[in-house]
Structure 1
Amino acid sequence: MKRIFLIIAFASFSLHSFAQELNNKFKTIPAKDPAVKEVIPPKEVAPKENPPSPVEKPAPLQVNPDELFKDRNVYKQDANVEGIFYRRNQFLGNINTTSATSTIMYRDAAFVDGDKVKVYLNDKVIEPEVFLNGEFKSVKIDLVKGINKIDIEALNEGFASPNTAEFKVYDDKGQVISSSEWNVGTGYKAVIVLVKE
C-alpha cells in the first residue's frame, strides 16, 4: 500500500510540475488601450536656401595697402630676408573722421636708441627729421576732404634694430581715434590713412 501511495504521489507531483512549465512558456499581456495608434513620421522640411548676400562695394575712399605699396617710386620694396620681418612697409589702417584737423603724436616705443623719422602728408614732407625719444612729439595737420595719407619713414634704426615707434592720432576734439606701434627698417614707411568725411 505504501508503494501505491508513493507512486501516486510521485505521478501527481510530476504532472503538477509539467503543467506549470507549460503555463509559463508563453503568456500574452493585454494592451492597456486596445485601439492601435498609427505613428505618422514628421515631415521633412527642405533647408531654406538663403539668397546670396549682396556684394558689398568697398568704401570708395579706403586705401588698399597691396595697391598702395606697389608704387616703387614712393615705397621701398620689401626685403625677403629669412627671420627679419621689419624690412617691409607697414600699413596702420584707414581711419574715418569728421575732424577739420588732426594731431599725430609719436615717440620711441622701446629703448631710446637714436631712432629718427621723416613725416609726409600726401607724399609731401611736413617734418624732415624727427629724433624719437621717450617723450611724445606731435605734428598738427589740416585735413582735406577725402584721403589724407600720412607716411612715417624710418631714417635709421638707431643702435638697436628696427626703428620702433608708438603713435596716437587725435581728432580736433582731443579724442584718440587710433593708437598703434610700428617696427620698420631704414627706408621703409609706416602708413596711416585718415579719411575726412
Structure 2
Amino acid sequence: MNRYFNVKGRVFTLGLLLSVFSATYAQEEFGSEFKVKAAPQKKKKEAPVKDVKFNTGDFNKIKSYVIQDVEENTYEIPKGEEKDPEKLAKRDQDFGVVKTASGTAKVQYRDAAYVDGDKVRVYVNYEIVQPEVLLNGEPQGFDITLKKGVNRIDFEAINEGYAAPNTADFKIFDDNGAVISSNQWNIAQGYKATIILEKE
C-alpha cells in the first residue's frame, strides 16, 4: 500500500512541477509579445476623376468686358517746386491782397542786399508814378490816396544791378503808421512784383 502511494505521490509531484513550469514558460513567451492590435481602418474610396472636355466654341459665347476704345492718357506728372533762384527770379511775384480801411498808404522800399545799382519802375493802378528809382540802403518811397476797392501797386525791375536778381525790401504803412504789409521781391529784369491794397 505504501508502495502504491509512493508511486502515485511521485507521479502527482512530477505532474505538479510540470504544470508550474509550463505556466511560467507560457507567461514569459506571451507576456512581452502579447499586445492589443487596433482594428485596421478602412480606406475611403476616392471618386474616380472624370475627364472634363471643353468645347472651344463655348469661349466665343463669353461676353468680353475689355474696353475697346480707350482715350489717350494726357495726364502730366506735376513737377516739383522750383528751387533754382535764377529760374525763380524769371517770373512775376504776387504778394496777394491786403485789406485796409485806411484812406492813404505810405510805400517804402530799399535795396535788400548790398547796394549794387538796382533800379525799379513803380506803377499804381497801371499808371507810372515813379519812372526810375535807384535803390539804396535807406528807405525811400511815396504816399498814395487809396480809392475804394482795388489799388494795385507794381514794382518792375529795370535792371538787376551788379548782382542778379533785382532785390528789395518793401513796407506799406496805413494812415496811422502801422505796417499793413512787409515783404521782399527777387525779380529778373523785365519782371514785376505786385501787391494789391483793397480799401474796405
TM-score range, shorter chain: 0.5 to 0.7
How many pairs align? 117
**Counterpart of 2:88?**
85
2:122 pairs, out of 119, 122, 136, with 119
Match of 1:138 among 136, 141, 149: 141
Task: After TM superposition, list the pairs within 5 Å mapping 1:172-183 onto structure 2.
Answer: 172-183=175-186
| Aligned match of 1:169 | 172
Question: Aligned partners of 1:92, 1:185: CA distance in 2, in Å?
Answer: 16
| Gap regions ≥5 residues in structure 1 | 1-80
Amino acid at match of 2:105: S
State the distance in 1 between where 2:198 and 2:122 align: 18
Structure with a larger share of its residues in helix: 2
Counterparts of 2:118 and 2:131 in 1: how far apart (Å)? Answer: 14
C-alpha RMSD of matched pairs (Å):
1.4
Per-residue CA deviations over 1:36-78 (Å, capped at 9, x if unaligned) read xxxxxxxxxxxxxxxxxxxxxxxxxxxxxxxxxxxxxxxxxxx
Q: Which residue type is aligned with residue 97 of structure 1?
A: T
Residue 96 (1) aligns with residue 80 (2): no
Gaps of 5+ in 2: 1-83
* Matched residue SS, 1:84: helix
TM-score scaled by length of structure 1: 0.58
Measure the CA separation in 2 of the matches of 1:132 and 1:123: 21
Could you list the runs of 4 or more consecutive aligned residues of structure 1 that deviate by over 3 angstroms after TM superposition? none
User: 1:144-173 CA deviation, whole Å, 9 max, x = no partner?
Assistant: 000000000000000000000000000011
Deviation for aligned residue 1:138: 1.3
SS in 2 for 1:134: coil
- Aligned pairs for 1:67-86 (under 5 A) are 84-86=87-89
* Residue in structure 2 matched with residue 190 of structure 1 by the alignment: 193
Q: Give the drift of 1:111.
A: 1.6
**Identity rate of aligned residues, in percent?**
54
Deviation at 1:83, TM superposition (A): 5.5
Contact 2:123 2:130 in 1 (8 A): yes
1:75-98 Cα deviation digits (max 9, x unpaired): xxxxxx995210100001200000
| Deviation per residue, 1:102-161 (Å, 9 max, x gap) | 011000001210000000000000000100000000110010000000000000000000
Whole-angstrom distance in 2 between the partners of 1:113 and 1:82: 18
Paired AA for residue 88 in structure 1:
R
Task: Return the alpha-carbon distance in structure 1 between the equivalents of residues 146 and 134 of structure 2.
Answer: 24
CA–CA distance in 1 between the matches of 2:165 and 2:96? 21
TM-score by length of 2: 0.57
Evaluate the alpha carbon distance shift between residue 144 and residue 161 of structure 1 in structure 2; reply closer, same or farther with a 3 A threshold: same
Partners of 1:133 and 1:83 in 2: how far apart? 22
Of the two, which has the highest radius of gyration? 2
Equivalent residue letter for 2:185: W
